[in-house]
Structure 1
Amino acid sequence: MYEHLASFPGGPPNEYHLRLYSEWAKYDWGIVVTGNVQTTGDHLTLGRDTVLPTSEATDERLLPFQKLAQSIHGLYHHPPPGPRCRKPNKTLAIMQLNHPGRQSSNFIGGRLPFHPPSAPSSIPLGYGTNSSLTSKLVNFILFQKPRTMSHGDIQQVVKGFIDGGVTAYRAGFDGVQLHVAHGYLLAQFLSPKANARKDAYCLDRALELLHTIVQGIRVSTSTDFVISVKLNAADYSPTDIAEDSLLTEGERRSLEHILALATWRLIDIVEISGGDYDQPDFMMSPKPSASNSPRQAFFARFSHRALLALENLRQEPACPGYLPLILLTGGLRTPGLLQKALALKHADLLGIGRGSVLCPDLPSVLAQRLQDLKTWGDIPFQPEPDLQLPGIFSYPIFRSIWEFVPKVKLIGAGLGMAWYVVAMRHIANTTVAGRDEKIRPEYDVGGLCSVFWMWFWSPVLRMAWQRRWTNYASLMCFLIVLITFVTFKLF
């Protein structure tokens, strides 16, 4: 989960991070993986990214990350009126390390405007896809054509990830997760859409880069320090394919990668995910009425195949003996679906991201509902947001104009992401007030309003004006979209 809570343009964890993660720490989650922590400050996603220290992690620079680990473990003493320190939990604190590569945006990506980001090859985002003209124009404005990384650039990236692992280890985290999914840099080296190199970092040898990073972290930390890899099942794994169907070409390649990772005997967990900025379906919430939709478990079909392949590998005489666990995330919204995923061997571990924002006390809620699956099995832990258009679009003139504006998939997915960002800030703000009641999201905040409050963040202003000015904020966002579209058409 991307928190969007750091200072602009990027920085260490702050008091809002600490209060957000302290709220989750009350309820004994098994593992808490942070939002992506960027290994360098000149490649950000949306400007408020958490970023590792730019130089050697001195005790002073390490302190914010130590506080974050303590917050996840339930050990951080917040200044009043924050929450009281509770007894320590047994939650594993995992720091997710990332580098956006070519998906680092213009203007807020940590670089000068129109200064190109780094990538395996100079292939722009969206190249070769069947995207609409408007989508291609949006990509052109938001993302520069990347520059091809030199061998020296790649070595700097390797060092950044290894240093990130050491920083997490020194700060008291229990492990790290390397983000090799969603089209970010490490995933770009594994994808034919982004890697056309012919040298030592070509597609056929792309895993060697990841192996160097993993081995460097393992040597620099300890044997009980968890190393996880978040890996794409494919650019996007379709969920409407029959269970007994053959794997797609992308899935077969991903399965080969997982089996290769297993032979290293260095990795503890492989998280199955998918999608990128070209196909951002992984960012979208299912419709509130689709509680029984098979799209709930986005990647269950592939994770089941991966689990079986690892079990078969275990039976071979040359088996390394130590195999990673498979973690399945994406759309797990009901107690019945969680139980089904485990019973059918879809995964060893189950991850719930958005559910943790909708229902921070989910472990307690789940413990109760699992005792009565007949009643609660198919009921979501907490309703998903219904991101309908604000009331101002009920007027014919505004509704007609909105229908005229082409819809861009990435922007549409961003509405849902913005809603969850605002919801996480709500958790942090509520915890700041020192309240002990169970926190639930504000469902009256729509998608366009979420985008507005995500960027124009003023907690006091929002608390005072939210009800009165919500339609005006939506209108401002709509006008921005309309002006952008007209500009594209004219110029």
Structure 2
Amino acid sequence: MLLFTPVETENLRMKNRLVRSATAESMATKEGFVTDEMVELYKKLAEGGAGTVITGYMFVSEEGRASYKMTGISEDRHVDGLKKLVSTVKKADRSVVFVAQLAHAGRQTFISPVAPSAVKDPFTGIEPREMTGEDIERVIDDFVNAALRAEKAGFDAVQLHAAHGYLLSEFISPHTNRRKDEYGRERAKILLDIFEGIRGKSRIPVMIKMNACDFVPGGLEVGEAVRIAKLLDDIGFEAIEVSGGMYESIYHQRYNVVSQKVGKSGEAYFRDYAFRIKEAVNIPVMVVGGVRSLDVAESLLEKVEFVSMSRPLIRDPFLPRKMMAGEADRSDCKSCNLCLTAIFEGKPLGCYSKN
């Protein structure tokens, strides 16, 4: 099985090609500190057999908080808890590549919504404050400093969250970025500036999760996403995970684009977008979106290097190990999305399915 063969990126060696895709845990304290409940979650994921495990999004500044119980990496005082988290994962399986996802909510929050442009979000009903040049410089520094904290905590890499309508996603989208300055003329500039800021102080590998399509009128389309991906490849990003959609997409698609019902959409619903990007770049690409079965995962690996899963590993974190042992060839996750409903209600991440 190709899925369970080793693979290398520029700076990392993964024991297999299966990635646990980032998913909010809703398990931190109100200050963003790691809890024992969260440590246990990642211990099971490490023991479960995935070669790469990416954390749920962590806020790089208090302003960038997306939700209550979101994990923090915005201050030095968060590092001790993150060290404990990394230590537990490495004790469970030293070969696991453990990645910290860094995020800023942008306009998709009720806390302190800001955005590249003051475009109202119909999902929240909020019109965000348009960021000044000083705001942008501060956010870049916040991401850089968060990456340094991740390195201090022992993470193997970081992943910038530039998908699903959060701040970095808003910058690369023509729908939410209508600026006339340098950050509007080249909407990927903030990503390049963050990367260069990190690289000026650290060698920690930097991955990215980015939209290939926003699924909103006037939003990011795959052709533009391919152009941006080439820039990220050229500057030295480690890998690209390809996703799509934002909160607002539901008003134009009438369904949750990010977490589709696989029974209706089919598995690997972002595959064609990922394939388009992979055709244009040399760095590894990860396909995410409704992958449930071993045969589909194997077919994806004919064109990309990695397959990402989220909901199947919420259902059963030991699914990869069972697949390797021949005990399972697919997840029994039904895409009911009660796991995601729970975290939006402030409940801890877990499978709440009645099946």
TM-score, normalised to structure 2's length? 0.85
The one-character-per-residue Cα deviations of 1:117-155 (angstroms, maximum 9, x if unpaired) are 2111111113xxxxxxxxxxx632xxx211111111111
- The change in CA–CA distance for 1:249 and 1:286 in structure 2 (over 3 A counts) is closer
**Contact kept in structure 2, 1:2 and 1:421, CA below 8 Å:** no
**Match of 1:178, SS?**
strand
The structure with the largest helix share of the pair is 1
**Contact kept in structure 1, 2:57 and 2:102, CA below 8 Å:** yes
Aligned to 1:49: 70
Q: CA offset at residue 285 of structure 1?
A: 4.3
**Contact kept in structure 2, 1:28 and 1:90, CA below 8 Å:** no
- The change in CA–CA distance for 1:421 and 1:33 in structure 2 (over 3 A counts) is farther
Q: CA offset at residue 421 of structure 1?
A: 7.6
**Contact kept in structure 1, 2:26 and 2:346, CA below 8 Å:** no
Aligned to 1:173: 155
Q: CA offset at residue 61 of structure 1?
A: 4.1
Aligned to 2:10: none
**Contact kept in structure 2, 1:298 and 1:330, CA below 8 Å:** yes
Aligned to 1:36: 57
Q: CA offset at residue 27 of structure 1?
A: 2.6
Q: CA offset at residue 368 of structure 1?
A: 2.8
C-alpha separation in 2, matches of 1:252 and 1:385: 29
C-alpha separation in 1, matches of 2:27 and 2:86: 16
Q: CA offset at residue 31 of structure 1?
A: 0.6
The one-character-per-residue Cα deviations of 1:296-338 (angstroms, maximum 9, x if unpaired) are 111111111222222xxxxxxxxxxxx3210111100011111
Amino acid at match of 1:360: P
Task: Indicate whether 1:197 and 2:179 are aligned.
Answer: yes
C-alpha separation in 1, matches of 2:96 and 2:32: 25
C-alpha separation in 2, matches of 1:338 and 1:421: 29
Alignment counterpart, residue 102 of structure 1, candidates 83, 104, 107: 107
Aligned to 1:407: none
Q: CA offset at residue 420 of structure 1?
A: 6.8
Name the % identity: 25
Task: Indicate whether 1:124 and 2:112 are aligned.
Answer: no
**Match of 2:257, SS?**
helix
Task: Indicate whether 1:149 and 2:131 are aligned.
Answer: yes
Aligned to 1:139: 124
Task: Indicate whether 1:267 and 2:237 are aligned.
Answer: yes
The one-character-per-residue Cα deviations of 1:399-423 (angstroms, maximum 9, x if unpaired) are xxxxxxxxxxxxxxxx551247899
Unaligned runs of 5+ in 1: 76-85, 112-116, 127-137, 238-247, 311-322, 371-375, 388-414, 428-440, 446-491
C-alpha separation in 2, matches of 1:420 and 1:364: 26
1:380-399 matches, within 5 Å, as 380-384=330-334, 386=336
Aligned to 1:391: none
Amino acid at match of 2:326: R
Where do 4+ consecutive residues of structure 1 move more than 6 Å?
A: 420-424
C-alpha separation in 2, matches of 1:426 and 1:303: 27
C-alpha separation in 1, matches of 2:324 and 2:315: 17
**Contact kept in structure 2, 1:354 and 1:420, CA below 8 Å:** no
C-alpha separation in 2, matches of 1:356 and 1:249: 29
Number of residue pairs matched by the alignment = 326
The one-character-per-residue Cα deviations of 1:381-402 (angstroms, maximum 9, x if unpaired) are 2232557xxxxxxxxxxxxxxx
**Contact kept in structure 2, 1:32 and 1:72, CA below 8 Å:** no
Q: CA offset at residue 72 of structure 1?
A: 2.3
Aligned to 2:274: 303
Which one has more relative contact order, counting CA pairs under 8 Å at least 6 apart?
2
**Contact kept in structure 1, 2:54 and 2:101, CA below 8 Å:** yes
The structure with the largest strand share of the pair is 2
1:72-471 matches, within 5 Å, as 72-73=89-90, 75=91, 86=92, 88-105=93-110, 109=111, 111=112, 117-126=113-122, 139-140=124-125, 144-202=126-184, 204-222=185-203, 225-236=204-215, 250-264=221-235, 266-280=236-250, 281-286=256-261, 290=263, 295-310=266-281, 323-343=282-302, 345=303, 347-369=304-326, 380-384=330-334, 386=336, 417-419=340-342, 425=348, 441-444=351-354
- The change in CA–CA distance for 1:383 and 1:250 in structure 2 (over 3 A counts) is closer
**Match of 1:279, SS?**
helix
Q: CA offset at residue 443 of structure 1?
A: 2.9
Amino acid at match of 1:365: K
**Match of 1:96, SS?**
strand
C-alpha separation in 1, matches of 2:115 and 2:279: 34
Amino acid at match of 2:115: A
**Contact kept in structure 2, 1:34 and 1:94, CA below 8 Å:** yes
**Contact kept in structure 2, 1:357 and 1:424, CA below 8 Å:** no
The one-character-per-residue Cα deviations of 1:461-484 (angstroms, maximum 9, x if unpaired) are xxxxxxxxxxxxxxxxxxxxxxxx
C-alpha separation in 2, matches of 1:302 and 1:32: 22
**Contact kept in structure 2, 1:53 and 1:61, CA below 8 Å:** yes
- The change in CA–CA distance for 1:263 and 1:53 in structure 2 (over 3 A counts) is closer
**Match of 2:241, SS?**
strand
C-alpha separation in 2, matches of 1:253 and 1:145: 26
Stretch deviating more after TM superposition (117-126 or 171-180): 117-126
